[in-house]
């Protein structure tokens, strides 16, 4: 019989090893942050008109183009 391959899912899955819940929680928080899940949820929390969305994207692009440092960009995003 052939071995089954693990099915990967879009869900975040963290395995707790040796009862180290703090470590698992830290890993979970990092994975959520890296996946962009919270940003997506915040964007979908309310409806934004397409014209407003285009305007904000255009303003962010201008800001990225004109800014010299990433810290300055993070203030507005």
Residue 10 belongs to what H/E stretch? none
- pTM (predicted TM-score): 0.50
pLDDT of residue 38: 87
- Residue segments in the chain with a per-residue pLDDT below the cut of 50: none
pLDDT of residue 77: 56
pLDDT tens for 24-40 read: 999 999 998 888 888 88
> Would you kindly state where each structural domain of the chain is located, as residue ranges?
21-76
Mean pLDDT score across all residues of the chain: 81
Helix, strand, coil shares, percent, the chain, to 5: 60, 0, 40
Distance, in Å, from the CA atom of 15 to the CA atom of 26, rounded to the nearest integer, reads 12
Distance, in Å, from the CA atom of 66 to the CA atom of 19, rounded to the nearest integer, reads 49
């Amino acid at each position: 019989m052939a071995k089954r391959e693990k099915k990967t899912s879009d869900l975040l899955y963290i395995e707790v090893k040796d009862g180290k819940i703090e470590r698992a929680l830290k890993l979970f928080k990092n994975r959520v942050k890296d996946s962009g899940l919270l940003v997506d949820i915040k964007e979908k929390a309310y409806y934004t008109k397409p014209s407003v969305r285009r305007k904000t994207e255009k303003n962010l692009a201008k800001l990225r183009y004109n800014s010299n440092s990433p810290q300055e960009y993070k203030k507005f995003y």
